Structures are given as C-alpha cells and as structure tokens.
Chains A and B, each alone.
Chain A
Amino acid sequence: MKYTSQDFKSDQEVRWCPGCGDHAVLASVLRAMPEICEELNISKEQLVFVSGIGCSSRFPYYMNTYGFHGIHGRATALSTGIKVANPQLSVWQMTGDGDALAIGGNHFIHAIRRNIDINIILFNNRIYGLTKGQYSPTSKYGLVTKTSPYGTVEEPFIPGQLVLGARGTFFARSLDSELKLNQEIMLQAAKHKGTSVMEMLVNCVIFNDGTHLDISEKSVRADRTIVLRHGEPMIFGKERDKGIVLDGLNLKVVKLGENGVTEKDILVHDAHSDNIGIHSQLVNMRYPDFPVALGVIRDVEAKTYETEVHRQVADVAQKAKIKNMEQLLHSGATWSVK
C-alpha cells in the first residue's frame, strides 16, 4: 500500500509554540514515513512512536500510529520492551536532551550498548522547555537560565560522543529546518539494524532562542556546517571550496586550490568503517575551528539485541526435552505417594 504524509497525521491539534523547531521535525517525519514504509515493506500499524516527557515527547499524539507517551526519561526502556516483545514493529522514539541525557541517561546508553533496533530522534534545544527554562545537560557553559542565574558552571554533553562511547552503531545529526536532509537521515536510520540515534538541533523560540544560530543562520550555514554522505568527499562551503583533510592524527580544514590542495586530498566519508577514530573526530567538530558535521556520521553493522534474544529462545526451544508446562512440572526429582 502506498501512503501519503496525510495518512500519518493524527486529528490532534499540535500544541508546540509557534516557531518551535519541533514543528519542522514533525513535518520531516510525516514526509519520511511513506518512503520508509515502502522501502522497508511495512504498513502503518507496525509503527509505534514512543516518548518520555518534555516538549518533544508530545510527538506520539500527533501521529496517527500506535503510540506510547511514557514518563520522564524512560522512553528508551519502554521502546526496548516493545521491540523485544514484538520485533516486527518499527519503533520510533522521540526524546529531548533532558529526557534522554539527564533523567534517562542510563537507559539511553544501555539501549545503545545492546544495539536494540529502535530509532531515536533526540531533539536537542539545549534547554528545559516544558518546565519553562532551566539549563539541560547540553546547555553551553555559562548559560544563564532560571536555575543558573549567574550562568552554568558545568560543561555540556556532546550527544554524539556519548553515543560513540556507548559503542553506538548509528549516529546522525541535522538541523530542524533541513527537511530534505532529515528525511534522508530518517530513511537510513530506519534501514539500519540497531539503535539509530538522530540528533536534531532544534530551536526553542521561548527559552533558548537562537542557540544553534551560529551555524544554522541561512547566510552562514553552508560555511559553518558540512553534510557528510558515505562515499563522498568532505567538501563544504557556499562555494564548495573547503574540505577536510587528515593532518597527522587530526582533522584540518583546507581550502581547495590553496597550497596545492586538490579534491584528491580531501577525506572521503566512510560511515561504515568500524573504526570510531575518525567518526569521533567528526562528531566533535565545532565552529569556529571546524564546520559542524551533519548527515549520517556512523552507520555500521552489528548484532541486534532483540534478534539475539529471539534466536536464543528458538535455539533452546528446539533442543529442549520439555515442551510444555505439564512436562516442566514433572521434570527433575519427583516421587510418588501411593
């Protein structure tokens, strides 16, 4: 069956603030789903949207699919249970920087470590929105908020670093307004077997307006971000005149044509390399020294948790002498009383 975006839209009124970056992510998901269903050969009733608590966690109500709006931080655990119970389902988890990285940090890293086949969209606006403006684990050092009136005194997480540290097999990053790129990433995440983490840099117009503006502003975006695609050279810039090379053990930005640099010198992105060295450097690139990496940074194959769980159950069941409860009850040491 061929779907259109409209098929995935629920009848619920979308209640995010006007101008919130979450609207764009919702639009991206609605646009991506018809293609995802077609490519993966799944139907709408196999989709489950799961969330925790926070602005972005309202997401499941806006999808005309199965959905579970959980409790703060626990979306990853709910997703894990759903996927293990029924691996045929395509599980999409919507979570924020507070939900996934603060209260839910433990579940987040362990799901990634297990490599359970779920798709996590991490809405990173670097602030607590629903509780009205407190700093989050991704807020920049020194950010002034209601709970940090003199500025924060702690360094933020870089979500991609955390994902790689937890032995993540898929990490992508995008900007809320990059609808086409978002669709592309979501399709690749859907195809990836394992935990796919997509960090969406979203804007919170009310409490942290412009937090990503240094790289997302239209006039500078092309020069301050780089879209990575597997197999393509790492070239960026409005004029497509800049690239990334390996200088010793470190990445370096170079200008094509300067100092004899040609396209051949530019690194070609290998998302499928198991070596996390380069992926880690790409994840950590920060403006102004580097462009911020967007696109699928890492996409490697590994065993998935739910497949292993079901394989073991099937293997044991096949070899076991006990086939039902009655046999279990009478197994082992028993005795008869006449």
Chain B
Amino acid sequence: MEHKIIDTQEVVIRFTGDSGDGMQLTGTLFADASALYGNEISTFPDYPAEIRAPQGTVAGVSGFQVHIGQTEVKTPGDYCDVLVAMNPAALKANAKWAKPGASIIIDTDSFDEKNIEKAGFKTMDPIAELKLEDYHIIAAPITTLTKESLKDSGLDNKAIVRSKNMFTLGMCYFMFNRPLHFTEAYLEKKFAKKPQLIGPNKKVLNDGYNYAHNIHAIPNTYRIEPAKQASGEYRNISGNVATAWGLLAASEKSGRPLFCGSYPITPATVILEELAIHKELGAKTVQCEDEISGICTAIGAAYAGNLAVTTTSGPGLSLKSEALGLAMITELPLVIVDVQRSGPSTGIPTKTEQTDLNQALYGRNGECPIMVMAAKTPSDCFNAAFYAAKYALEHMMPVILLTEGYLGNGSEPWKIPSMDEFPAINPPIIKECEGKFKPFERDAVSFARKWALPGTPGLEHRVGGLEKSEAGAISSDPLVHQRMVAARAEKVARVANYIPDLEVMGKESGDVLIVGWGGTFGHLYTATKQLLDEGKSVGLAHFEYINPLPKNTADVFKKFKKIIVCELNSGHFVNYLRAKEPDFKYLQLNKVQGQPFVVHEIVEAVRAL
C-alpha cells in the first residue's frame, strides 16, 4: 500500500484508557511535542474523581483530548479525528466523541471477555455493538508488542506493561509525522536519576513509531505544519500554573511579599503546589488545617502587609464566605481564586462548570459587594491573576477571581510576555500622618483607604468585623452604618473607572450579539468565527470583569437586535445582566453537564434564533 502524507489544517486526538494507563501523561507529551514543533494547541483533560477507580470499568476511564493546528486553535475541539482506546471501557465511554469515520486505535490485548464484560457490553463484539464498522479501526496487540519490545530491558513485568502508553504515543507520532526528539529529551530529564529507565522508554517509543509505519494499517499520515504565530518566545502553560505566576508577578511589581494560605481541593490544588515551589521569588505558602484558616491566615497576612492570596474551588468558597465579609469590612487587599467545578456540594469534583458566579457575587451575609473577575483562557489566567492582585492592592479590597477546572487543567502555548508590559502596582501604604490616624478615611477618587502596616510607629489602629466610623471607632449609629455601607459599595463600583472597556469581536453591530464570560471564550470565539464565515451578522462580547461591569456594556448591547448569553450554568450571568442592564431582552444558552460547550451547539443555537 502506498503511504501518503496528507497536509491538514488541524486535527483532534483523544487518548483514553483506564485511570492507571497513563493517558494524562501521554496526552500531555503529545501536546507538548506539538507545541514545541510550532503548532497551535489546546488541551482538555477529562478524568474521574477517583485516583484508581475500579479497573476496566467505564467509571474509571481517564481521557485527554488535544487539538493541534496550523491555524488558530482556541478550543480542544468538539469531536476527535483519532481516538485511542486502551481498553473496552474507554471505547465505550468515548466512541461518541469520535467523528464519523475517525481512526480508532485499540489495544486488542485488553479486549478480552473479562474486560468487555466489565465495560458493560452485551455482546463480545464492541465494535459492532457501538456501530463502529465504518470507522477506521487500528487493532494492535499493544501490550504484547510492548512486552516483546522490552523483553531484554531488565525491567520487571509490571514496569514493562506500564510502558504500553509510550508504544501508543510512538504510533501516534508516526500518524501525525511528529518528531520524537522532544519526548526523548523529556524522558532523559525525567529519568536523570534513574538512567536505567531512559533506554527502555525511548526504545518502546521508537518501536511504536516503527510498528505503525510497518503494519501499513494506516493508509495515510497527516502533517500539520507549524502555525504562523507572531514571532517571539513561547511556552506551554496551564491555567493553574498561569494563575500562580500572575500572582508572583504582582508580588514583584508591588514589592509586597506573596502569602498564600490554602487548603488542598480539586481542581485548585495545583496553584498552591506551584506557589510552594517558587520560594526563590519570596512566596510563602501555608497549607492550612481547613479552608477557613486558609482565608483567615491570608487576611492576617494582608493586615501585616503581604500580598495575600487564598485559592480554592466551589465548596471551599462556601466555607470562606464569612471571612470574605471580614476582608471586605476591614478593607484589606486579598485575592480569592475560585477554580470552579461542578456542584452543588461535592458535585462532580473533576468536571468543569461556571456555577459559582452567584456565590461569588452574592454569597455573604450583610451588604457585601465584592469585585468579581473571570479568566478567559489558560494563559489569560496570568493576566487575570495579575490584575486581580493589582485592583485588590490599589483599591484595598478583596477580589474574587473565577477560573474553571477547564482552564486550570487545560493548557495552551503562550507567547511569553515581558514584565515591562505590565504596569506598576502602587498600594496606598501610609508611613506617617498628621494627627490621629483614621484608618477608614478614603481617597476622594478611588475611595480606597490607606494601608498602615503594623510596625509603623504612630499609626496604631484597630480593625475588625464590627461596623466602624471613618476614624475607626466602633459604631452602631444607624447613619454611620448606612454611610459606611454606601461607601464600601461605591468603592467597588468605582473600579469601573479603572478597568478596560468591553471589546466586541466580529460585527460591531448587527443581528445577534453572543455574550459570554470566563472560560467559554475559546468555544464562543470559534463559534462566532464560524458564523461570520457563514455570513451571519454576529458579534461576540466576552466579559472578564463582572462586578463592576465595564462602563460601555449598554453601548455594546444596544447595537444588536438580539442578545444571547451563553454560560455553563442555569443562568447566573444572564440574571445578573437583567438586574444591572434591564433595558435589554436577553436570550440564553445554558449547559450544566460538567463539560465545556461544544462549538457546534453554540452555532446551532445562534442559527436557530
């Protein structure tokens, strides 16, 4: 059979297997190699909450989808061109994500009676049962081949079988004409302290590559040329790491040492882990006894003059609610990162959602408005975290930054910015004052109070959760309370004077304005482009600043006949808009499945308007 190389614009590949099969690593290596090769990429890990769910069952299937392209890639792709299924359960759970006629690589060694039964198939022919006969099935005895490849390696049987993901990766590299050296370099670095593992891993990777070449089971391979990216230096970055780095950057720009008090929680933990690494930049991390201690230690650190941060996910934000009120009334700078996940309660911890917006906006006792921001893409988490810290520090208030499991775990190539592109951060620290220091006296323009750090002579003062006058004296005077409530709310509202205007992509005016916020950006952007290509008169307004809203929000909205608000919840943002900008009629597209949008469903919804 003649082997042809087909040039293609983009391809989506989905690696799936048992939780213990190493699919997250395989997907990550494929993505990294593609990014280093110069492709645009976007990734989506889709894994179960259990570390090792029962082997061979559908519940234990772990997946990692990678979208690579030589043109703009903004989403991990709706459906895949190639599906890797390491066992019957993986095939059963993921066949629905394969494009009609897609190539499906299966490890035939795992398709035995026991595993087919465990996956819940009714017959012994999963391919027929799933109606995949018209798909291009590449049935390879991957486990056997891996054993054969490594029989002289000196590794024990368990270690050998575990290497089957490298064999599969090698096969995929052949199919997409990927160079192997990026992954070989990774293996050399990873196993620097266990050099006996370098050789076998490289061998099995190469054997997988050669096997795919030799069997001719794959009629054509694909070539995705490097994308035409803006020149500069790039790196791959996940949303959680970008968030941590954005906070470190704000610490450097403000000169305030970083303090992070947190409690481990999926999917936010990586931010705490990442900050714990970077002590070289002065970051102090305290892994607390609980979520409440996480935020309260951070509030203490803020009082003492640090850039204070606490990171969490939905249920943790619930636990922090009372303390958020304390940060708000004491008017201390604090960044609260909520990596949203599926709820309520424990919900589906590893799945993504946008269902914490109401909680972020309203989830506190008393009159307690707090600034709320949302990151758009994995790399945008860097900017969002930086600016959340800037507003917190300069306006003396807590800021909630919403990201999502999809952003936190997802990664994309990022053109590395220069720190010169970021503004200075100037917290209103006071060193001395005439007369008695009044802790809650405000700046006339921003309404921010001054920050007097303990240790400064002459500025001794008390803060706390009780209502106080501007002078800092406890007060239950009705008028003082009303005045202070209004002033704190006004301070948050005035941040609108400092944030950028809302931008519109696509048509500036027209039939339909697609509205979104946070991590749905990639899907909404891709859908908007597709609709524009179809000749539809659409625009996209994507919000990063939620409270307060950008000042030009109504000006943007009034230029369109219809507005459709798309979000991964039952309508939090649309109802907020109905309250804040009541002069418009809002249509909505909502999805609450623990999964991101697929581009197709957005396009369909807009076409149907």
Do A and B pair up? The answer is yes
A residues within 8 Å of B by Cβ?
10, 12, 43-46, 48, 50, 53, 60-61, 64-71, 74, 77-86, 88-89, 106-107, 110, 309-310, 312-313, 315-317, 320, 322-326, 328-330, 332-338
List the B side residues contacting A74 at CB < 8 Å: 292-293, 296, 323, 326
Q: Tell whether, in the assembled complex, residue A70 and residue B304 are in contact, meaning their CB atoms are under 8 Å apart.
A: no
Query: With contacts A68-B303, A329-B245, A337-B232 known, is A110 near B455, CB below 8 A?
Result: no
A-B contact pairs, 21 of them (CB 8 A): A46-B455, A48-B304, A53-B465, A61-B464, A66-B462, A67-B460, A67-B463, A68-B464, A70-B326, A70-B464, A77-B296, A81-B301, A81-B304, A82-B300, A85-B301, A86-B306, A310-B284, A312-B279, A329-B235, A330-B233, A333-B236
Smallest CB-CB A-B distances: 4 pairs = A81-B300, A69-B464, A320-B280, A77-B296
List the A side residues contacting B249 at CB < 8 Å: 325
Q: A323 CA to B231 CA in the complex, in Å?
A: 26
B286 within 8 A of A: yes
Query: With contacts A46-B455, A329-B245 known, is A81 near B296, CB below 8 A?
Result: yes
List the B side residues contacting A43 at CB < 8 Å: 457
List the A side residues contacting B459 at CB < 8 Å: 45
Q: A48 CA to B459 CA in the complex, in Å?
A: 12
B6 within 8 A of A: no
Binary contact track B416-436/A, C-beta < 8 Å → 1, others 0: 111100000000000000000
Interface residue tally for chain B (C-beta within 8 Å): 70
List the B side residues contacting A110 at CB < 8 Å: 288-289, 293
Q: A316 CA to B455 CA in the complex, in Å?
A: 27
Q: Tell whether, in the assembled complex, residue A338 and residue B296 are in contact, meaning their CB atoms are under 8 Å apart.
A: no
Closest residue of chain B to A113 (Cβ to Cβ) is B289
Q: A233 CA to B482 CA in the complex, in Å?
A: 61
Q: Tell whether, in the assembled complex, residue B462 and residue A67 are in contact, meaning their CB atoms are under 8 Å apart.
A: yes
**Apart from A67-B464, A329-B416, A337-B231, what are 8 other A-B pairs with CB-CB below 8 Å?**
A53-B465, A70-B464, A74-B326, A80-B293, A82-B454, A85-B306, A313-B283, A329-B245
List the A side residues contacting B326 at CB < 8 Å: 70-71, 74
List the B side residues contacting A50 at CB < 8 Å: 300
Q: Tell whether, in the assembled complex, residue B416 and residue A84 are in contact, meaning their CB atoms are under 8 Å apart.
A: no
Q: A326 CA to B420 CA in the complex, in Å?
A: 9
Q: Tell whether, in the assembled complex, residue A78 and residue B303 are in contact, meaning their CB atoms are under 8 Å apart.
A: yes
Q: Tell whether, in the assembled complex, residue A86 and residue B297 are in contact, meaning their CB atoms are under 8 Å apart.
A: no
Q: A77 CA to B233 CA in the complex, in Å?
A: 42
List the A side residues contacting B322 at CB < 8 Å: 71
List the A side residues contacting B398 at CB < 8 Å: none
Q: Tell whether, in the assembled complex, residue A322 and residue B280 are in contact, meaning their CB atoms are under 8 Å apart.
A: yes
Kindly identify, within residues 296 to 324 of chain B, every residue whose CB is under 8 Å from any CB belonging to chain A: 296-306, 308, 322-323
Binary contact track B266-297/A, C-beta < 8 Å → 1, others 0: 00000000000011111110101110110011
Query: With contacts A77-B292, A81-B261, A81-B304 known, is A317 near B280, CB below 8 A?
Result: yes
Q: A67 CA to B248 CA in the complex, in Å?
A: 28
Closest residue of chain B to A77 (Cβ to Cβ) is B296
B residues within 8 Å of A by Cβ?
32, 35-36, 38, 226, 229-236, 245, 248-249, 252, 257, 259, 261, 278-284, 286, 288-290, 292-293, 296-306, 308, 322-323, 325-326, 330, 416-419, 453-466, 473-474
List the A side residues contacting B38 at CB < 8 Å: 335, 337
Query: With contacts A48-B454, A106-B289 known, is A333 near B304, CB below 8 A?
Result: no
Q: Tell whether, in the assembled complex, residue A336 and residue B232 are in contact, meaning their CB atoms are under 8 Å apart.
A: yes
Q: Tell whether, in the assembled complex, residue A77 and residue B280 are in contact, meaning their CB atoms are under 8 Å apart.
A: no
Q: Tell whether, in the assembled complex, residue B286 and residue A309 are in contact, meaning their CB atoms are under 8 Å apart.
A: yes
Q: Tell whether, in the assembled complex, residue B454 and residue A89 are in contact, meaning their CB atoms are under 8 Å apart.
A: yes
Q: Tell whether, in the assembled complex, residue B279 and residue A332 are in contact, meaning their CB atoms are under 8 Å apart.
A: no
Q: A289 CA to B334 CA in the complex, in Å?
A: 52
Q: A325 CA to B253 CA in the complex, in Å?
A: 9
Q: Tell whether, in the assembled complex, residue B300 and residue A333 are in contact, meaning their CB atoms are under 8 Å apart.
A: no
Closest chain B CB from A70 CB (angstroms): 7
Q: Tell whether, in the assembled complex, residue B280 and residue A106 are in contact, meaning their CB atoms are under 8 Å apart.
A: no
Q: Tell whether, in the assembled complex, residue B301 and residue A82 are in contact, meaning their CB atoms are under 8 Å apart.
A: yes
Q: A77 CA to B323 CA in the complex, in Å?
A: 11
List the B side residues contacting A313 at CB < 8 Å: 279, 282-284
Q: Tell whether, in the assembled complex, residue A66 and residue B464 are in contact, meaning their CB atoms are under 8 Å apart.
A: no
Closest residue of chain A to B288 (Cβ to Cβ) is A77
List the B side residues contacting A70 at CB < 8 Å: 296, 299, 326, 464-465
Q: A67 CA to B437 CA in the complex, in Å?
A: 14
Closest chain A CB from B72 CB (angstroms): 14
List the A side residues contacting B252 at CB < 8 Å: 324-325
Q: Tell whether, in the assembled complex, residue B293 and residue A107 are in contact, meaning their CB atoms are under 8 Å apart.
A: yes
List the B side residues contacting A45 at CB < 8 Å: 454-460
List the B side residues contacting A334 at CB < 8 Å: 233-235, 416
Closest chain B CB from A116 CB (angstroms): 10
Closest chain B CB from A69 CB (angstroms): 3
Query: With contacts A71-B322, A107-B289, A333-B32 known, is A316 near B296, CB below 8 A?
Result: no
Q: Tell whether, in the assembled complex, residue A325 and residue B460 are in contact, meaning their CB atoms are under 8 Å apart.
A: no
Q: A326 CA to B278 CA in the complex, in Å?
A: 13
Q: A81 CA to B302 CA in the complex, in Å?
A: 8
List the B side residues contacting A65 at CB < 8 Å: 460
Closest chain B CB from A40 CB (angstroms): 14
Closest chain A CB from B159 CB (angstroms): 26
Q: Tell whether, in the assembled complex, residue B36 and residue A85 are in contact, meaning their CB atoms are under 8 Å apart.
A: no
Closest chain A CB from B333 CB (angstroms): 12
Q: A43 CA to B454 CA in the complex, in Å?
A: 11
Q: Tell whether, in the assembled complex, residue A317 and residue B233 are in contact, meaning their CB atoms are under 8 Å apart.
A: no
Q: A77 CA to B465 CA in the complex, in Å?
A: 15
List the B side residues contacting A86 at CB < 8 Å: 304-306, 453-455
Q: A78 CA to B297 CA in the complex, in Å?
A: 5
Closest chain A CB from B281 CB (angstroms): 7
**Most chain B CB atoms below 10 A, which of A12, A322, A328, A335:** A335
Q: Tell whether, in the assembled complex, residue A61 and residue B474 are in contact, meaning their CB atoms are under 8 Å apart.
A: yes
Q: Tell whether, in the assembled complex, residue A106 and residue B300 are in contact, meaning their CB atoms are under 8 Å apart.
A: no
Closest residue of chain A to B458 (Cβ to Cβ) is A45
Closest residue of chain A to B466 (Cβ to Cβ) is A69
Q: Tell whether, in the assembled complex, residue B462 and residue A335 are in contact, meaning their CB atoms are under 8 Å apart.
A: no
